[in-house]
Amino acid sequence: MGNKLVQNDVLLEGLNWRYATKAYDPTKKVSDEDWATIEAALTLAPSSFGIQPYKFFVITDPETRENLKAAAYGQSPISDASHIVAFAYKKTLTDGDIEHFVDRIAEVRGVSKDTLADYGNVMKGSAKRAVDGGYIETWNSRQAYIPLGFLLQTAALLGIDATPMEGFDAGKVNEVLGLTDYSVVVLAAVGYRDAENDWLAALPKVREPIENIIVRV
């Protein structure tokens, strides 16, 4: 058996407790320790080959938050949550990016770059096919949703609220954050719910019955 760290009921309690929080208590901030754990979870998400073709912009500056809120149709979590994370994918993947990744493997695992040459070429081939085939942005942007999932689950298990958000004008958010080589694909607000002022806080979660969603083959 594996290394079971969480009891089933505890895990499901956390996932049922979380919801896409609409109103945050602006006076409650995520502690440094909890925030460091959330950042670590973001970086521990898997990605294709492990290339991590994204960056996470952690936004706490109030003025930047106001500008982001305007680009996100005035959604209040943007200004009221403790932290905002913008998930931005890399718009291309170059040989240089792959070489950087190969250097990093060599450094972390203490192996020579020569032993990684074939693997590097496989990755360069995949990247080139994606660039030439016009799907590099699709590929890279999909990767960014995996850390989003890690964030949502990690926050839930720490008793921290979070809201995934696609409701924004990406061009405007990129402008606010000064992004050129990266493009924002999704935002997450993270903080503590203001349950009294959140219309969604007390409503039951709506999901399809499990048998409509899980197909057992």
Ligand X SMILES: Cc1cc2nc3c(=O)[nH]c(=O)nc-3n(C[C@H](O)[C@H](O)[C@H](O)COP(=O)(O)O)c2cc1C
Q: What is the smallest separation between the CB atom of 18 and ligand X, expressed in angstroms?
A: 7
Residue nearest to ligand X (CB): 167
Write down the residue that tokens 């959140």 correspond to. 198
C-beta closer to ligand X: residue 22 or 83? 22
Q: What is the smallest separation between the CB atom of 210 and ligand X, expressed in angstroms?
A: 15
Q: What is the smallest separation between the CB atom of 73 and ligand X, expressed in angstroms?
A: 8
C-beta closer to ligand X: residue 50 or 74? 74
Q: Residue 93 is which amino acid?
A: L
C-beta closer to ligand X: residue 130 or 165? 165
What residue ranges bind ligand X (CB under 6 A)?
19-20, 22, 75, 163-167, 186, 205
C-beta closer to ligand X: residue 127 or 144? 144
Q: Residue 186 is which amino acid?
A: V
Crossing angle (nearest 10°) for helices 145-157 and 8-17 = 110
Q: Give the DSSP H or E segment for 115.
A: none
CA distances for 147 relative to 31, 52, 203, angstroms: 20, 10, 27
Rounded to 10 degrees, what is the CA torsion of 188, 192, 196, 201? 50
Q: What is the smallest separation between the CB atom of 187 and ligand X, expressed in angstroms?
A: 8
* Tokens describing residue 8: 């089933």
Whether the CB-CB separation of 157 and 11 falls below 8 Å is answered with yes
